[in-house]
Amino acid sequence: MGADPAIAAFREVLDEGLDELRRGIADLSVEELNARPAGGETNSIAVIVTHTVGATMSWLSLATNAPLPPRDRDAEFVTVADEGFAAWAEQRFADCRAILHDDVRWDPSLVRTPDWNPHLAEEPRTAAYAVAHALEHLGEHIGHLHMTAELLRPAD
């Protein structure tokens, strides 16, 4: 039996997004990964990528009825990258992709509760919502990564 066509489509969109994250951190120094060029309480690229993959894994796991990954959402927002950040990110990208494997079967109407965020703990969501949100959230944070990277570039 072949892959569920919906899962195959979700995986294609996920791959595009994860490839965009990969390109976004390629060739950045540790200092650039940790910079907050917009100042104040804004997020660095390291924080954006860490939060994005944590959220993506959580929402896709919810959508596919996989065990929810361990997650410390608050810690994602204080991430400080080191020299191993790109390798860590690659492993997390692979972890995200593995959730949407060829044999996964999903029920769009399955309802589960996202317990990793206290604001969501009382809001059960369908699998259909969870996968849509995972991919939308990924795209939103890719935009944040691009805006932050743009601020790192010197003005011409």
Q: Given this model, what pLDDT does residue 92 score?
A: 97
Q: Which residue has the tokens 């959580």?
A: 58
Residue 125's SS3 state is strand
Report the C-alpha gap between 21 and 16 in whole angstroms.
9
Please tell me the distance from the alpha carbon of residue 33 to that of residue 85, in angstroms, as a whole number: 9
Tell me the pLDDT of the chain (156 aa) as tens digits.
567 899 999 999 999 999 999 999 999 999 999 999 988 889 999 999 999 999 999 999 999 999 999 999 999 999 999 999 999 999 999 999 999 998 888 999 999 998 887 777 778 999 999 999 999 999 999 999 999 999 998 766
Domains of the chain with CATH codes = 5-152 (1.20.120.450)
CA 86 to chain centroid: 14
